[in-house]
Structure 1
């Protein structure tokens, strides 16, 4: 990740998709931790300004905006519904060029995975991970474009700073696949 920063302190990124993921991560960071998952449509900024000037103005996008992708937050995700089942119900209109999801999870380092007790159901495993001393709280922002491009931003709760956000295209491949499937025809 680059050490260059924008005026907001967020790292500057080379690709439009990386910039969009970091913008969403910064937005989620401003809301604090222990938030529900949030879904975003990614739209072409120039197309949005041309076709929906009122919405562009409402989103604070002016004609000088550098962003080429604009994240538009969707309605709140249904509580209690498994994320994979919810994502399977989504169909995006043609104007949406990509989508992103921000979700918080508990993760264990690879060294702890070897000590997972055998035969636990999902509820028992979730409780075991939540009580593990090496667990890490992480916020994942995963984005995909219709053309297959992917990007992820990971932020650990214990290192909650814009300069500590990890980015990469294949950090959470399962979630990226689930998001990409929302564009399958």
Structure 2
């Protein structure tokens, strides 16, 4: 039985999400939410020919060879929002944006520890921050318009690019929120 050919859109998205995660990791931990528009590099080069001079030659060569090659464009001056869900719900993209990605840091607990978390907000935060099994993680989640999604997860306790977990739907709630920006 032969293995199916890799999906070029999914491969390009996975590569882009990992590149974004590495870029954000260079800034260290305790950073803000960051949002990136994803555009097909070949199309961007057609509309903005000056972009070629700004790209590394290896990136330019990859973009020339791969129609699905993506360029990420960090979105600055994001609107103020009380939480990530509200921020993402307020975003929309023009048709030239093929996809989007977001990075966010979170604290996670094992499921049994989550069940014991107090209902009161301030008590829950105190419990979360003091829990001995807590893990700080950075999530990088991207999705293409009407296409695949990809997630990268780095744990602060094993802060190594070789230890980044990845997969199509590792953080389903955040994938759904990212997809909602295309509605």
Aligned-partner Cα distance in 2 for 1:114–1:100 = 30
Residue ranges of structure 2 left out of the alignment (5+ in a row): 1-9
Counterpart residue number, 1:115: 116
Matched, 1:102 2:103: yes
What do you get for the CA RMSD once the two structures are aligned? 1.9
Note the alpha carbon deviations across 1:79-99, whole angstroms, 9 max, x for none.
662111111111101110000
- Which secondary structure state, in structure 2, belongs to the residue aligned with residue 71 of structure 1? strand
Matched, 1:157 2:156: yes
TM-score with structure 1 setting the length: 0.84
Kindly tell me: are residues 59 and 77 of structure 1, through their superposed partners in 2, closer, same or farther at Cα, counting changes over 3 Å?
Answer: farther
TM-score with structure 2 setting the length: 0.84
Aligned-partner Cα distance in 2 for 1:31–1:137 = 16
Offset of 1:76 from its aligned partner? Answer: 4.1
Residue ranges of structure 1 left out of the alignment (5+ in a row): 1-13
Q: Counting helix residues as a fraction of each chain, which structure ranks higher?
A: 2
Aligned-partner Cα distance in 1 for 2:146–2:128 = 36
Offset of 1:108 from its aligned partner? Answer: 0.6
Aligned-partner Cα distance in 1 for 2:98–2:49 = 18
How many positions carry a matched residue from both structures?
169
Note the alpha carbon deviations across 1:51-78, whole angstroms, 9 max, x for none.
1122343354653135701111111435
- Which secondary structure state, in structure 2, belongs to the residue aligned with residue 31 of structure 1? coil
CA contact (8 A) 1:48 1:56 kept: no
Offset of 1:37 from its aligned partner? Answer: 0.7
Kindly tell me: are residues 133 and 79 of structure 1, through their superposed partners in 2, closer, same or farther at Cα, counting changes over 3 Å?
Answer: farther
- Indicate the larger mover: 18-27 or 106-115: 106-115
